[in-house]
Amino acid sequence: MQSIADAFTLALQLVLSGNADLFEIVALSLRVSLTATFLACLCGLPLGAFMAISRFPGRGILLVLMNALMGLPPVVVGLLVYLHLSRSGPLGFLGLLYTPTAMIIAQTILIAPIIAALSRQVLEDLHMEYAEQFRSLCLNQWQTVTALLWDARYSLLTVGLAGFGRAVAEVGAVIIVGGNIDHLTRVMTTAIALETSKGDLALALALGLLLLTIALGVNAAVQSLRMSARRQAYV
Amino acid sequence: MKLSQSLCASIAALALAGSVAAADQSIIVQSTTSTANSGLYDYLLPLFQDKTDIQVNVVAVGTGQAIKNAQNCDGDVLLVHAKASELDFVEAGYGTARTDLMYNDFVIVGPEADPAAVGGTTDAQAAFAKIAASGALFASRGDESGTHKKEKSLWAESGVDPSAASGQWYRETGSGMGATLNAGIGMGAYVMTDRATWISFGNKQDYKIQVEGDDDLFNQYGVIPVNPAKCPSVHVDAAKKFTDWLISDEGQSAIAAFEVGNQQLFFPNAPKN
Amino acid sequence: MSSLGTIAFTPNAIPQAAAPNLMPLRVRDLGLSFEGEAVLSGVNLDLGPHGCTAIMGPNGAGKSLLLKLLHGLISPTTGEINWGGQTAAAAMARQALVFQKPVLLRRSVAANIDFVLRAKGRPRSLCNALLDHVGLAQKARQPARLLSGGEAQRLALARALATEPDVLFLDEATASLDPASILSIETIVRDACARGVRVICVTHDIGQARRLADDVVFLQGGRIAEHSAARDFFSAPQTTAARDYLNGRLVL
């Protein structure tokens, strides 16, 4: 219990001290996870939209697969990416292992299925409402998908948040492909893991509180955006 | 499909930009955790980087994984503490040469209550036998790290096969030193750890060193530059500069000067040329 | 609404649907079954090139299904639909359907029109004229889904007109609106009809059918019971079913 009280004080001190190392770690966490979320949306949303509006043989199996991939263990993703990016792996020549780029790639792979599966559900519900009208207008698939994506944009923000939440909170993948190198690939979660392994539980918990606060901030920002959208009846 | 293509292209572009910028001035050290967790690198690297413009990036993992990573050419220098495995590594051609760097020792820590009554013993094997006989809990790394390998050899010498009791009094955490200490302390188990990690460990609670001072608890660290013949991508010159500095008089005295709480953690013993 | 006769988007800018080339409509032996149960059967129907046709009948008679079959939204089990030589599926692009409950995009009023203009490759500059035409110019920037029921349906109608259809289907488009809203919708529909758009509407509103329709198709139990000129249908319905329906007596 002592550690928890310490952690709150420590977290406050860390923030107030304006520690440059801490700022660097927080900034990298945000950069890596936000970029990964953006890239995962870039692939996941069109895939989700396509799955939402099309019917083809094997679609059911693909849906099950997509939903199952939401539970992809970060460590497994980390290992897969490591094996590819390792200098002895097929993409080793790129020299990407132990860089923030490698971490972005791993997190993108980790959360793209989440974005795809959740957006599929959101867009399929919306499509139920729009489908007949759209068919009457003779819209092609591209027009349908873009209209659905645009009209569901505020709901999809929540989907993006789910992806971001998983990315920013995971440690298994980034610690393998990033290596938790100080001033290069150290992010909030790997720093927490490191402090835990050093037995500095209060500092680890303080960092955890900061991470929680950041996640809270991002969520609050998106929530306020959604609220204003709801007032416009765009949700 | 267009999207994923452009995505791949942008990743590749990003990658190239990144690798060009990194250039020859940075190396990766695949290291055991004790050296990193104790803060040794935080002390040493600024000293080295003041003299050169080589950026040293440390990946701290267990000795077993560090060696594997280096075999995959994902490091320029290997700094671990499992001599037999290190010699195998060089033998197999992955490293150019192994040099003794420094040493400290292992200790067995346990709760104040000392249920196996091993406190004060200086015979590690005897202490292990007593722990096994008493049925007191023992938390093992169980991860093929340098510490784990040392622990297994001590069990063998004490004539106990702890793996038969795995899950009972013998608890294999399969994690790093810090995690194993946290787990061991949580369950009231004895733990064998290197002294450096123990001294700088922050969550000791009522634990203290129960067994120390046996010559068999000697813990030797070695340093090996990765062989460019196996791994053409290694930054040979930078790796050699770093290794040479570590075993130089300057590097060795820097290692000796590193202290946590007024205690020296590592004792340099590189051979003098 | 007084400028309805001279709408800005008709002259010059776009060729007018002067001679609707989807007509005449010829339906032969049309049938629709769900899991072996016939909901429409033996439907034969001929519609000429001009005017407004009302499809009437009690609930469950198959009115909306007939409309969707004609539009090509669903495929018949038997029979054929011929729009001036084209199948229903091929004709769909030149038709528009206004649903009972308007399906509006989660965007502004203007963006709802703009979306269709872009999808159909029509000049986006028509948007203002269309909104003006349905009396929604003041609300162009407002979220479409905050419109009242009547406004929403006028927007749906404007969107349908934005596709410049040869044929306009209305599926109980005024069913839940107040009298003023109903009249403004009817004015717009009548105007479209006058400009040569062929209108086919499903309605329960006998007054509306009297005001709008040139002819009435009366459906009962999935069959066409009667198809006659509106004047004749309302003054002297030929079938007992139609008579009972007009008198407000339940028809099963």
Burial track B95-115 (b if 16+ CB lie within 10 A, e otherwise): bbebebbbebbbbbbbbeeee
With respect to residue B273, please indicate whether it lies within any of the assigned structural domains.
Answer: no
Name which of A43, A87, A198 is nearest B72 (Cβ-Cβ).
Answer: A87
Domain boundary (B201, B217, B233) is at: B217
Nearest to C73 among A132, A150, A152 (CB): A132
Rounded-to-integer distance, Cα C105 and Cα C113, Å: 10
Q: What tokens appear for C40 in the block?
A: 């429409």
Q: Look up residue C80 and give its DSSP letter.
A: E
> Which C positions 36-75 lie with beta carbon below 8 A of chain A?
71, 73
The Cα–Cα gap between B222 and A6 comes to 38
What φ, ψ does residue B227 adopt, rounded to 5°?
-75, 120
Q: Which residue of B has its CA nearest to A175?
A: B59
**Does residue B184 sit in the same domain as residue B90?**
no
- Comparing CB atoms, the residue among B19, B42, B72 nearest residue A95 is B19
Spatial distance between the Cα atoms of A166 and B198, rounded to a whole number of angstroms: 33
In this complex, whether B and C touch, counting 3 or more CB pairs under 8 angstroms, is no
Alpha-carbon separation of residue A19 from A12, A13, A22, A26, A189 (angstroms): 11, 9, 5, 11, 17
Question: B92 and B110 share a domain?
Answer: no
Q: Please judge whether A197 and B179 are an interchain contact, meaning their C-beta atoms are less than 8 angstroms apart.
A: yes
Domain interval for residue B117: 105-217
CA nearest C168: which of C62, C20, C11? Answer: C20
Q: What ipTM did this prediction achieve?
A: 0.87
d(CA C3, CA B249) in angstroms, rounded, equals 98
Interchain CB distance below 8 Å, C119 and A135: no
Q: How many whole angstroms separate alpha carbon A90 and alpha carbon A71?
A: 26
Across the interface, whether the CB atoms of A197 and B11 are under 8 A apart is answered no
CA atoms within 13 A on the CB side of C135: 17
User: Any residues with CB less than 8 A from the CB of A28 and at least 6 apart, and which?
Assistant: A100, A185, A186, A187
User: For the CA atoms of chain C, what is the radius of gyration?
Assistant: 18
**Closest Cα to residue A202, out of B147, C1, C23, B203?**
B203
Whether residue A232 lies within 8 A of chain B, CB to CB, comes out as no
Task: Copy the structure tokens of residue C109.
Answer: 């009023």
With beta carbons less than 8 A apart as the criterion, state whether A48 and A163 touch: no
Length of chain A: 235
Q: Are A3 and A205 in contact (CB under 8 A)?
A: yes
With contacts defined as CB-CB under 8 Å, which chain A residues touch C71?
A: 136
User: What is the rounded distance in angstroms from the CA atom of residue A202 to the CA atom of residue A196?
Assistant: 9
Q: Degrees (nearest 5) of the Cα angle A71, A72, A75? A: 130
CATH of the domain at B24: 3.40.190.10
**Are residues B264 and B193 both part of a single domain?**
no
Q: Which residues, including other chains, have CB under 8 Å from residue B32's CB and lie 6 or more apart?
A: B60, B61, B62, B63, B66, B79, B80, B81, B145, B146, B221
Do B161 and B178 lie in a common domain? yes
Q: How far is the C-alpha of B180 from the C-alpha of C57, rounded, in Å?
A: 79
Cα torsion B130, B136, B142, B145: sign: negative
Q: Do residues C152 and C101 touch, judged by C-beta distance below 8 A?
A: no
Task: Compute chain B's Rg from CA coordinates.
Answer: 21
Q: Using an 8 Å Cβ cutoff, are A6 and A137 in contact?
A: no
Interface residues of chain A, partner chain C, Cβ below 8 Å: 129-130, 132-133, 135-139, 143, 147, 150-152, 232-235
C75 SS3 class: coil
Which chains lie within 8 Å of chain C at 3 or more CB pairs, if any?
A: A
In this complex, the residue of A132, A137, A232 whose CB is nearest that of residue C116 is: A137
Number of CB atoms found within 10 A of residue A22's CB = 17
For residues B98 and B146, membership in a common domain is answered with: no
Chains that touch A (3 or more CB pairs under 8 A): B, C
Are both B99 and B158 inside the same structural domain? Answer: no
In angstroms, rounded to a whole number, what is the distance separating the alpha carbons of residues B181 and B202? 10
Domains and CATH numbers, chain C: 2-246 (3.40.50.300)
pLDDT computed for residue B30 by the predictor: 97
3-class DSSP state of C204? coil
- Tokens 């702890």 sit on residue: B162
* C-alpha distance from B197 to closest chain A C-alpha (Å): 8
How many whole angstroms separate alpha carbon A49 and alpha carbon C12? 40
CA angle C130–C132–C134, rounded 5-degree value: 75
Joined tokens for residue B200:
């700088």
What is the interface size between A and B, counted as CB pairs within 8 Å?
Answer: 93
What total number of domains does chain B contain?
Answer: 2
User: Are C165 and C184 spatial neighbours (Cβ–Cβ below 8 Å)?
Assistant: no
The two tokens of residue B160 are 């106990």
Task: Divide the 273 residues of chain B into consecutive groups of 10 and give the mean pLDDT of each group.
Answer: 45 47 74 91 94 93 93 96 94 96 96 94 95 95 91 95 92 91 94 94 93 95 96 93 95 95 93 80
CB contact under 8 A, A197 and B33: yes
- Residues B61, B16 share a domain: yes
> With contact defined as beta carbons under 8 Å apart, do A213 and A114 qualify?
no
Residue of C nearest to A228 (CA): C143
Smallest CA-to-CA distance from C112 within C71, C154, C172 is with C154
By three-state DSSP, how is residue B104 classified?
strand
Residue from B74, B205, B235, B260 whose CB has the most chain A CBs within 10 Å, to mutate = B74
The pLDDT assigned to A2 comes to: 62
- Chain C closest CA to A140's CA: distance in Å? 9
Question: Per-residue pLDDT for chain C (252 aa), expressed as one digit of tens each?
Answer: 334 333 444 433 344 444 457 889 999 999 999 998 999 999 999 999 999 999 999 998 999 999 999 999 999 999 999 999 999 999 999 999 999 999 999 999 999 999 999 999 999 999 999 999 999 999 999 999 999 999 999 999 999 999 999 999 999 999 989 999 999 999 999 999 999 999 999 999 999 999 999 999 999 999 999 999 999 999 999 998 899 899 887 555
Rounded CA-CA distance B170/B152 in Å is: 12
- Pick the closest to residue A53 from A138, A142, A151, A115 (CA basis): A142
Helices (H), A54-187: 59-69, 74-85, 100-136, 141-151, 153-169, 172-178
Cα–Cα distance measured from residue C190 to residue C236, given in angstroms and rounded to the nearest whole number: 24
Contact A96 B22 (CB under 8 A): no
Looking at the structure, tell me whether residues B80 and B163 fall in a common domain. no
Distance CA B80, CA B64 (A): 9
Model pLDDT, residue B265 = 94
Query: At the topology level of CATH, where does A2-8+22-231 sit?
Result: MetI-like fold (1.10.3720)
CB within 8 Å of C192: residues ≥ 6 apart: C161, C168, C199
C-alpha distances (whole Å) from A173 to each of A37, A168, B27, B271 are: 15, 11, 22, 40
Task: Mark the ranges of chain A whose per-residue pLDDT is less than 70.
Answer: 1-3
Query: Does residue B237 lie in a domain region?
Result: yes
Cα separation of B238 and B77, whole Å? 10
For residue B104, give how far its alpha carbon lies from the nearest alpha carbon of chain A (Å): 18
